[in-house]
Amino acid sequence: MIEAKGLSMAYSGGKGVFDLDFSIAQGEAFGYLGPNGSGKTTTIRLLMGFMRPDRGSCGIGGLDCWKDSAAIKRGLGYLPGELALFDELTGTGFIKLLLELRGLRSLKRANGLCDRLNLDPSGRIKRMSKGTRQKLAIVAAFAHDPSVYLLDEPTSGLDPLMQNVFIELVLEEKRAGKTFLLSSHNFEEVDRSCDRAAILREGRLVAVEEMAKLKAEQRMSYIVKLAVPEDARKLREAGIEIVRQTNGDVEVLVGGDYNTFFKALSGCDVKGLYHGGRDLEQAFLKYYGKEAV
């Protein structure tokens, strides 16, 4: 459904995307991961037909993204990374305008999306918070029931509850046969919604992997609060990787072997255990570390 072949475009400063090759099947959610400045947004702009590639090609539904841009957009849901909305309109007026431009008048689907996202679109856009504007942009991208979605950092500014609602929405659309390219630096978002992920580094693809494989390689960060700082030695002796220690607060990275981790903790005087999170650099260390240069 979505395909890039040798897709390349360079900016005057030397950044851009280079020799991208990937394909996304109908009904697949494809994560597009990388730090800021890695080329995620440039790829989406090329797929949207906003820019012409220097070489190579990209297509959606068998159509060329540059030559057939207008035809592709009829069945496309797009959410840009940087929102540019009509501030003087109300949210309702904005949704109506976009639907009318597509020849649609029914607000039934849009109203259902607003209810799910707990969005009141009646106020003026210029008075909306970042999170509310993001909800409005999601509704605008989904309201016309597109078959393909290009989403650039779609949950930016959303609270965790609304992030969960968004992921549920993607999964529902996926079951209905919709296709997604979801650009993010949020592993959690991609982990829960995507079948595969491409990893982008300095404009080049360094891997395209099944999510199951990436999750198996992922490590989680935990903060262990020890009553006796010297107990950190017991964690080291058990083979637990310690990232840093400040007195009794010890940050550790744990892979798939949680039994060893908990067994080591049982021998310590633990006052607290906190989830330290998981980030792209930890999850994809081998793609972003020195060995990937």
Q: What is the CATH number of the domain that holds 186?
A: 3.40.50.300
Q: Using CA atoms, how far apart are residues 210 and 102, in angstroms rounded to an integer? A: 36
Q: Are residues 17 and 133 in the same domain?
A: yes
Give residues with Cβ within 8 angstroms of 45, minimum separation 6.
Answer: 51
In this predicted structure, what is the pLDDT of residue 220? 80
Q: Are residues 170 and 73 in the same domain?
A: yes
How many domains does one find in the chain?
A: 2
Residue 10 falls inside a structural domain: yes
Q: Which pairs count as long-range contacts for 4-7, CB under 8 Å and 24+ apart, including other chains? A: 4/43, 4/46, 4/47, 4/56, 4/57, 4/58, 5/56, 5/57, 5/58, 6/55, 6/56, 6/57, 7/43, 7/46, 7/53, 7/56, 7/57, 7/58
Q: Strand, coil or helix: what is 210?
A: strand
Q: Using CA atoms, how far apart are residues 277 and 269, in angstroms rounded to an integer? A: 23
CB-side neighbour CA atoms (13 Å) of 32: 28
Q: Are residues 136 and 236 in the same domain?
A: no
In this predicted structure, what is the pLDDT of residue 283? 57
Q: Token pair of 128, please?
A: 């909306």
Q: Are residues 84 and 124 in the same domain?
A: yes
Q: Token pair of 15, please?
A: 């950044």
R_g of the chain, CA atoms, integer Å: 22
In this predicted structure, what is the pLDDT of residue 286? 63
- Tokens 């080591």 correspond to 264
Q: Are residues 158 and 127 in the same domain?
A: yes
Q: Are residues 186 and 247 in the same domain?
A: no
In this predicted structure, what is the pLDDT of residue 282? 57
Residue 13 falls inside a structural domain: yes
Burial of 52 per CB tally in 10 Å (0-12, 13-18, 19+): exposed
Residue 42 falls inside a structural domain: yes
Q: Strand, coil or helix: what is 80?
A: coil
Residue 288 falls inside a structural domain: no
Mean pLDDT by 10 residues, the chain (293 residues): 97 94 97 89 96 97 96 95 92 96 94 97 96 96 97 92 94 97 84 90 90 74 92 93 90 86 94 75 58 41
Residue 138 falls inside a structural domain: yes
Give residues with Cβ within 8 angstroms of 222, minimum separation 6.
Answer: 251, 252, 254, 261, 273, 274, 275, 276
Q: Are residues 203 and 252 in the same domain?
A: no
Residue 291 falls inside a structural domain: no
Residue 147 falls inside a structural domain: yes
Q: Using CA atoms, how far apart are residues 207 and 212, in angstroms rounded to an integer? A: 14
- Structural domain that includes position 226: 219-277
Q: Are residues 81 and 24 in the same domain?
A: yes
144, 97 in Cβ contact below 8 A?
no
Residue 287 falls inside a structural domain: no
In this predicted structure, what is the pLDDT of residue 171? 96
